[in-house]
Amino acid sequence: MKRLALGFAAAICLSAGLAAQGGQAPAAPAAPPDPRVGLKAGLRDAGTAAKNMVLVSSLGKPAGFDDPTGAAGLTFANSDIAFQHETLFLGNFYGINMYDIEDPAKVAIKTSMPCQGGQGDVSVYGKLLFMSVESGSGRIDCGPAPAPPPAPPAGTPAAAAGGRGGNNAPPAADPNRFRGVRIFDITDPLKPKQIAAVQTCRGSHTHTIVTSPNDKANIYIYGSGTAGVRSGDELAGCVADDKDPNTSLFSIDVIKVPLATPEKAAVVNHPRIFADENGQLGGLWQGGNHGAGTQTSRLTNQCHDITAYPALGLAAGACSGNGILLDISDPVNPKRIDDVADPSFAYWHSASFNNDGTKVLFTDEWGGGTNPRCRSTDLPNWGADAIFNLVNRRLKFAGYYKMPAAQTDTENCVAHNGSLIPIPGRDIKTQAWYQGGASVVDFTDGAHPVEIAFFDRGPISADKLIVGGYWSTYWYNGYIYASEIARGLDILKLVPGDMLTQNEIDAANLVKYTELNVQSQPKFSWPAHPSVAKAYLDQLARSKAIPADRITAAMASINTFDKATGAARTSAKASLTALAADFTKDAATAKGADASRLKALASTLTAMK
């Protein structure tokens, strides 16, 4: 915590020092204008700008899920994405849409399932589809909500509205209301069948599938609710009083799903992951700011999102006023092992590990996602990413990243959901920034992250803010799928450029998923393939870790091996083995990412057959 505050103060001092120079230092060359600035507005005909990315196809929302004027607010907003084989599941505040993505250039709707309840985050596991429901409009049977009650007489004090972070007055009890996690059987994907509806006291804003190598019979769902607590009259055991030891605040929900009988899914624990060593349930950030010039963040009594990394037995929680690290080796009883706060963060929103588990990238949803927070007047470390190195299971701050193109007052923009792109030798993430578009960031050096690709549209409207833009951008089997809140679904693809080579793209495309839930992060690996070796060589050339003539010679040897057969291939393999030995020696004196790349290159060359 002190380390972060010092980093923030240093940034302020640096800014003040530069201003105090009064222009005496030589002016830096003017950067070329960012093509994302000044794009034409429009719902269907907005201007676009891209770097190292192309739009492959775009598909509007299906009938019954569209709201082109934005008059309905978030009622028909697209939300999160899950994948299984050649099907994309797209959540929506009004239900779920399923798409055929066998040909990304010709994506088609498979089926739509109206089922309102707000948020609609989805995940998939085998023949089970899960959906988060948090709004009071959710019904047990997926049916439409009843008409709202009449407005109270004039002068009647208004009850606090439910929403993130509060101990707010719940609506009147309704036995048909549903808030929690729905479970559908998708054995017939065209006819999803609800088989369970697990009620929770704060609903489910998001959820995370957690698996355990020691428990093959069950999976677990970590439910994160951010709304007010329901009345105990509506759901037994719900307690809104934050002073009561049985309060429904200061915890998450752990739902056990027996794979043989998923209809018996039930909440099995409410772990107190925010408690301090003295047993104080609310033992983390108490709300408020961190001092003059810092953000104001909420009391930590909830998580917005949790990303599990089962291969490491860890999870990272973005939890209101804190980022936390959890040991999930026992998935029923997760234990907090570290926590951080940040003076630039307003609302800890989501988290991603890098592939080798040495970094965690947290996002800050300053403004709640519905406000413009990427304007030229907004600080570059507010509403941004904070990158932490993970050292001995402790989080150590490294740096910030924010999409660099200034947006307008009519574009909601802040850090949001993304996923890793499996480029070997680099930590690269595609990330959604609402109407700030998609930004691909290289955070291999956590202290100096850099944007390497982007795609953006102009605002939906030039005259007023209509909430839209990318909710999520996720890489899946060679393409980036983007959930557009207002417009529908976009499919993007990386193309080579000055900071990304075709070899790196080809190596990433060797990684193939059959199922992907980004918040249940998989660990990927690469085959011993020429494209992988060439990707490492491109990176070593970019960093000038190896002389250019050696890079050229190594590329030639790999090409010779790739084309050779019989005795010639045996001879070419001997050359690769000798190269591997040389690169292993180089790795012994190299530092940082280049040392890792040299070791991985040597291993790849040795394993190529």
Asked if 601 contacts 579 with a C-beta cutoff of 8 angstroms, the reply is no
* Residue whose structure tokens are 């998609």: 438
Which residues, 6 or more positions from 60, have their beta carbon under 8 angstroms from its beta carbon?
44, 66, 487, 488
Could you write out the DSSP letters of every residue in 437-499? -EEEEE-SSTTS-EEEEEEEE--S-SSS----SEEEEEEETTEEEEEETTTEEEEEEE--BTT
Which H or E run contains 589? Answer: helix 566-589
232 compared with 19, residue with greater pLDDT? 232
153 — pLDDT class (breaks 50, 70, 90):
low
Residue pLDDT, tens place only, 195-228: 999 999 999 999 999 999 999 999 999 999 999 9
pTM, two decimals, is 0.93
Highest mean pLDDT among 21-25, 28-32, 402-406: 402-406
**pLDDT (average), residues 77-81:** 97
Alpha carbon dihedral 137, 141, 144, 147, in 10-degree steps, equals -60
Euclidean distance between CA atoms 317 and 173, whole angstroms: 31
Q: Which residue has the higher pLDDT, 271 or 27?
A: 271
| pLDDT greater at residue 171 or residue 300 | 300
How many beta carbons lie within 10 A of that of residue 246, not counting itself?
A: 9
Arithmetic mean of pLDDT over the chain: 92
Confidence bin at 523 (pLDDT 50/70/90):
very high
Q: What band does 68 get if pLDDT is binned at 50, 70 and 90? A: confident
Q: Is the pLDDT of residue 154 over 80?
A: no
Beta strands in 225-358, from DSSP E residues, in sequence order:
253-258, 266-269, 288-289, 296-297, 305-309, 314-319, 322-327, 335-340, 348-353
Residue 322: the pLDDT is 98
Asked whether the CA dihedral 309, 315, 318, 324 is positive or negative, the reply is negative
1 against 531, higher pLDDT: 531
How is the chain split among helix, strand and coil, in percent rounded to 5? 15, 35, 50
Reported as a single tens digit per residue, the pLDDT across 252-261 is 999 999 999 9
Q: Which of 38-47, 77-86, 150-159, 316-325 has the lowest mean pLDDT?
A: 150-159
Token pair, residue 503, equals: 């070899």
pLDDT (average), residues 474-491? 98
The dihedral over CA atoms of 413, 414, 418, 420, expressed in degrees to the nearest 10, equals 120
Cβ-contact 258, 238 below 8 angstroms: no
User: Which pLDDT does position 23 carry in this prediction?
Assistant: 41
Dist CA 224 CA 239 (whole Å): 16
How large is the average pLDDT for residues 565-574? 96
Q: In whole angstroms, give the CA distance from residue 352 to residue 361.
A: 5
The predicted model gives 513-542 an average pLDDT of 98
